[in-house]
Amino acid sequence: MPGNDTAGLPSEAFFTPGTSSFTEFLAAHRPGLLPTARSLPDGVRMPPDRFPHGTTVLALTYRDGVLIAGDRRATMGNLIAQRDLEKVHPADDHTAVAFAGTVGLAVDMVRLYQVELTHFEKVEGTPMTLAGKATRLAAMIRQNLAQAMQGLAVVPLLAGYDLSAPGGGRGRIFGFDAAGGLYEKQDFYAEGSGSPYARGALKKLYRPGLTRREAALAALQALYDAADDDSATGGPDLNRRIFPVVCVITADGFERLPEPETGELSREMVEARTTRPDGPHALL
């Protein structure tokens, strides 16, 4: 951030005592840099076909941690705005955030959230707890409420590996609403326009103790089902070699599944769908 001193020295803001929140620092000294500062005039509501919107993301816990995934499509009304959008991003070593909603605001919010967690750790000398990360993200979403009411909503999905959880480390999932409401989800959750169909698929496919491969296949099956019923969600594009983003978070940290692995699992799933179009049956 540029200083006010003509000699290139940092501005006085950098030496003013405050909290460990970078977002609050910006709000106090450079509010115009916040994504939530760019609101529409009062009474104006943005039509849904004017800006790209991201659609379906999901997360589920498995034996070694938590998996988070998203399709790649962004839409503007009935148009496909982008086929290879990245909706899943690492927030820090043991946390990831995926988003549905207005793409431009969501990308800015994710970047600010990444800086927020890094800033806190540098100031406090210790990483924020997973519950604290969820609470901080909820506060950032709440700041966007005015724009959400005007049709520019951002609804993230947070997944992380809690190293300090009672009984040992484990994966945890947090969902939000457009007003910043925070809800911890058990086992699995999905967000976005295709989320009802993705959650329905996960209800029949999820079981405790899934391996990484089984969890990845369950996520791909759920995204496929979402794309089957929701035109805004994109399934695996075998011709263009565009596959969903699938990431895992374990005690070892964040890892995005390599493209060859995701592609192989996607082809395996699509091939199986030729004989069973509705997907695998639930185990009884």
Catalytic sites, residue numbers: 55
* SS3 per residue for 94-137: CEEEEEEEEHHHHHHHHHHHHHHHHHHHHHHCCCCCHHHHHHHH
Tokens 């924020």 — which residue? Answer: 128
Could you give phi then psi for residue 129, rounded to 5 degrees?
A: -65, 160
137 with 149: CB under 8 angstroms? no
Smallest CA-to-CA distance from 88 within 56, 51, 134 is with: 56
- Angstrom distances, CA of residue 169 to CA of 73, 118, 207, 235, 249: 33, 21, 19, 33, 11
d(CA 207, CA 210): 6
Smallest CA-to-CA distance from 175 within 194, 193, 155 is with: 155
C-alpha torsion 112→113→119→125, nearest 10: -170
136 with 128: CB under 8 angstroms? yes
Q: What is the DSSP string of 10-56?
A: PPGGGGS---S-HHHHHHHH-GGGSGGG-PPPTT----TTSS-EE--
